[in-house]
Structure 1
Amino acid sequence: MTELLLAILGFFILIQLFYYLFVFTRLIGYRQYSEPGPNAPAVTVLVCAWNELENLQELLPLLDAQDYPTFEVLVLDDRSTDGSHDFLKKHVFDWDHVRFIRIDAEHKHITPKKYALSVGMKHAQYPIALMTDADCRPVGNNWISSMVAQLSDRKDIVLGFSPYMKTGGLLNWFIRCETFYTAVQYLSFARVGWPYMGVGRNLMYKKSLFFEHKGFYTHKGVVGGDDDLFMNQAATSDNTVINLDPESFMYSVPKTSWGSWITQKRRHLSVGKLYKPKYKTLLGLLSGSHVGVWLAGIACLAYGLLNQDLLLLQILGGAFAFRWLVQLIVLGGINKRLDRTVGIHTFLFMDLAFFIYYILMGLMMFTKPKKDTKWR
């Protein structure tokens, strides 16, 4: 029995080590361009907004002040009823680069945010589209230029990083952990040549790519997925590049209640089911092996204590200590590149939290969620 338990534990740890040592490490030494070329293309920044008055009041001056030669900020006001429309009409001429489009109706054939983005793509004046949300804030005035610097004749897509603001509390800590670890996955997978998603809070691609793939047509009725499902469809190892430049980071306002966060996670889970089989397998192995390590570890601990098997307990302790050391080194190195999103002293708790999270999310997939028609 001891040999079987250790074999199972070792199997799951080997899978984890593959991801940490051969995939995630690709981010630690990554080098990239930080300045746009002499012929920097003009950019349209698309901002979807649904009842985002206060956020628009903060965000638009920051976007208008971006240090970039030619760009526009196109706000897509999707049926807002909080005064956003009146605010935009009154202040749009206060800025040099901002204009807006009012969307007055919802359409049955496509979800609201995807319709808004599709309208924005059709009305964008410039060939490069840079997406963000109203509740986001760039770290400085070089956000656009940093994202554009990664584009080239061969690279059509730039995957950016969008961490959440630190506000304190358990929910905020876990949101930052989950966002960090998700970024580790999609950014490192893209480096290996397996781009499978981006985040719409900080995502750039050529407008021609959008129309080449018929926009969101293949998943137009799915709430969410305007970023990850489109990337799953359009991104390749040849046309995609990542951006780890701190000037490119776009911070976002986090959820403040467990209920709203769970609703968001349900939507993400429903979208993940539609990924290409290859990526569902790769991500399933990663999360499954994480759960497997902990379940096998608990089984070894219980068996070792019941049977007073000191050798088994020593091997178990050594195995977990080695895995945590690898995590500390690899994730710690990436964490430095990603603006120290998570306190390194909490990595051990993050590992346990993800075990619980994966179990709960797995159970959640078997419950039918209430139909969600909102895009936030």
Structure 2
Amino acid sequence: MPMVLLYVFGSITLLNILFYLAFAKFSFHKISAKTVYENSPVSVLICAKNEAENLKKNIPSILSQNHPNFELILINDASSDETLDIMEEFKELDSRVQIVNVVNNETFWGSKKYALTLGIKKAKHKKLVFTDADCAPSSNKWLSIISSEILESKELVLGYGAYKKEKGFLNALIRFETLMTATQYFSYALNGTPYMGVGRNLAYTSTLFFENKGFINHIKIASGDDDLFVNEVATKKNTAINYQEDAFTISTPKNTWSSWITQKRRHVSAASHYKKTHKFILGLFYISNVLFWVAAPLSFFFIAWEFALAIIVIRFIIQSIVLGKAAYKLKEQNLIPFFIFLEIFLIVGQIVIFISNSASKPTQWK
């Protein structure tokens, strides 16, 4: 019996390790920093709903990009605050600013995808770069770097949307979850199976959007204007990644547990509509994590402690190397000493979110 349990625990851990070895594709990937960037025209799109304060704070950092030829399309998604007024103020100050004012209708009530579609139709340029109202580029090179990745064969670019470093455990957990997610979607893209991207830092061509009929296949799903679109259209040939520090966007993270859980419920709800292959792989990784953490402490009671400890240590060493390298790439190395604790809390949080989504549907965006 102990030998059977040893084989079971070893198999669970081996499966988990294999995932981390797949993630090493990103962790040990080397990116060639370009010194000369494409100067072709770009349309930057920001869809905002009740984001007056964030727009006031972050639009200047978009307009100060050193890219020589771009327009900024601000989409007001039926806001009830001063969002439209702020947009109009920026338009008066800068001719590059264009406004799309969306009024709700019965068919697309509260749909960000409907609002974004109107903004994309307004765009003058083929290259489209997306970010959110609560995001600021990490440098004035962001737009040039991200848009330069769009080449003849690469119509979709996955960027990194970081969260601002602040005090507190919730902030660390949010940044750890973001690190884990980015490590996965960058790794899978490099392995030839891109499955998602984040709207905080995403680029694609208008041709790709219209040839795939935009968001029509998931227009009725509340979220997923970024990851569901990427999941549908991304391929090994048409997708590029960029994780240069100068091409990050930085967002203000949620500051309460309830607001973070609400946000993650929407994300998880969208993920349930991924392609079956992607859902299977992502689910298998999550299950391997859960089973490892359940089996690890129990293993000391049922098998020789030396074998149990050896298996656990090997897993933690491989995880620390792979995820640690990714953390350095994405400038989250201060999280490394807390990986074990953050992983446990994240798994528990994901279980809570799964149960919540099973009981009721998540709310619309803002």
User: How far has the Cα of 1:327 moved from its partner?
Assistant: 1.2
| Mapping 1:136-175, distance limit 5 Å | 136-175=135-174
C-alpha distance in 2, partners of 1:273/1:128? Answer: 29
Deviations 1:82-136 (A, max 9, x none): 2122222233221242221211224424752101110011000111110100000
| Mapping 1:348-359, distance limit 5 Å | 348-359=340-351
C-alpha distance in 1, partners of 2:26/2:79? Answer: 42
- Name the CA shift for 1:77/1:285 in 2 (closer, same or farther; >3 Å): same
Q: Which residue of structure 2 aligns with residue 338 of structure 1?
A: 330
| Mapping 1:104-123, distance limit 5 Å | 104-109=103-108, 111-123=110-122
Bigger mean CA offset, 111-120 vs 80-89: 80-89
Bigger mean CA offset, 101-110 vs 9-18: 101-110
Q: Which residue of structure 2 aligns with residue 89 of structure 1?
A: 88
User: How far has the Cα of 1:36 moved from its partner?
Assistant: 5.1
- Is 1:364–2:356 an aligned residue pair? yes
1:5·1:296 contact (CA, 8 Å) conserved in 2? no
2:193·2:235 contact (CA, 8 Å) conserved in 1? yes
2:65·2:140 contact (CA, 8 Å) conserved in 1? yes
- Name the CA shift for 1:134/1:343 in 2 (closer, same or farther; >3 Å): same
Deviations 1:57-77 (A, max 9, x none): 111111111001110111001
2:163·2:253 contact (CA, 8 Å) conserved in 1? yes
User: How far has the Cα of 1:5 moved from its partner?
Assistant: 1.9
C-alpha distance in 1, partners of 2:170/2:19? Answer: 27
C-alpha distance in 1, partners of 2:28/2:148? Answer: 20
Q: Which residue of structure 1 aligns with residue 365 of structure 2?
A: 375
2:74·2:99 contact (CA, 8 Å) conserved in 1? yes
Q: Which runs of 5+ in 2 are unaligned?
A: none
C-alpha distance in 2, partners of 1:46/1:119? Answer: 11
Q: Which runs of 5+ in 1 are unaligned?
A: none
Q: Which residue of structure 2 aligns with residue 287 of structure 1?
A: 286
Among candidates 306, 310, 320, match of residue 328 of structure 1: 320
Q: Cα RMSD over matched residues? A: 1.7
1:154·1:238 contact (CA, 8 Å) conserved in 2? yes
C-alpha distance in 2, partners of 1:35/1:106? Answer: 46
Letter in 1 for 2:305: L
Q: Which residue of structure 2 aligns with residue 66 of structure 1?
A: 65
What is the TM-score of this pair, normalised by structure 1?
A: 0.93
Bigger mean CA offset, 347-356 vs 42-51: 347-356
Deviations 1:263-310 (A, max 9, x none): 111111211111001100110111110111111113213x24xxxx6x
Q: Which residue of structure 1 aligns with residue 10 of structure 2?
A: 10
Deviations 1:170-209 (A, max 9, x none): 2111111111100011111000001000000100001110
What is the TM-score of this pair, normalised by structure 2?
A: 0.95
1:165·1:252 contact (CA, 8 Å) conserved in 2? yes
2:104·2:110 contact (CA, 8 Å) conserved in 1? no
User: How far has the Cα of 1:30 moved from its partner?
Assistant: 2.5
